Amino acid sequence: MANFNPLKPHFNHIANYLRPLLLLLLMACCGDALSQKRAITLTGVVYNKTGSARVAGVTLTDIANNNTIITDDLGTFKINCSIDDTLLFKKQGLTDQKIRVITDFVLVVYMQPNIVLNQVDIKDVTKKQELNDVMADYGKKGVYNGGNATVWQNIFSPLNALFNIFGSDAKNARRFQKDATSELQQQEISRKFTVAVVQQITGLKDVKLKNFMDSYRPSYQDCKNWNEYDEITYIKKSYAQFEKDGEPALPKLY
């Protein structure tokens, strides 16, 4: 005679009852996991933590995909990102801030100003001082204003006027002053158009990065009055043109 287990129908009944509950729980977990990475368009505003002023020109980067935007004149922003991404907020004079995206509600960010001592750029001061010292040496020889004497200097010292026109020191002074001005301007361009900033915005690397920077290096007149917003706008616009035109050919090596 076959064995009869009186508990078996009872266990079958419990299993039939729990099966749909387990299925619903599994679906809920999967749905929650999927929602954690859903794409959203996040809006927000950035304030200065020490007051109520909004902060314009803040660079906002989604670390997950390197998507970068800048807050507008009212300190507001809109960025395409995903739940669980990390956003990096940066602006000169303010402490960098990272925020994890956990909802698509309007994000309000408060950035803390840096406490910075007066900066002394020793390299720049030294370079300018060296150039001034050289020009001072020319002045000791009677060469004024880089070989361009004033009207009064020419009137009271006619021999010096002739020297400033024909003398070799005067020619050297004018040439040196021109070269020194150009060198200082190139330093100013390099200070703003840096590898770190260009690479962060464009994502370019190695030879392609160098090719882009050589091809789209701004002039001193273009960048002398740049702020951070102008700099990023120029790089983005140049990169779009760079991609549209195709990478310029590298120079031939002979």
pLDDT tens, position by position, 177-210: 666 677 778 888 888 888 888 888 888 888 888 8
pLDDT tens, position by position, 43-68: 999 999 887 789 999 999 999 999 99
pLDDT band at residue 111, thresholds of 50, 70 and 90? very high
Q: Which of 74-88, 118-132, 148-162 has the lowest mean pLDDT?
A: 148-162
pLDDT band at residue 248, thresholds of 50, 70 and 90? low
What pLDDT does 84 receive? 93
**Domains of the chain, CATH where assigned:** 39-111 (2.60.40.10), 122-189 (no CATH), 193-245 (no CATH)
Tokens of 99: 């925020």
Mean pLDDT across the chain:
75
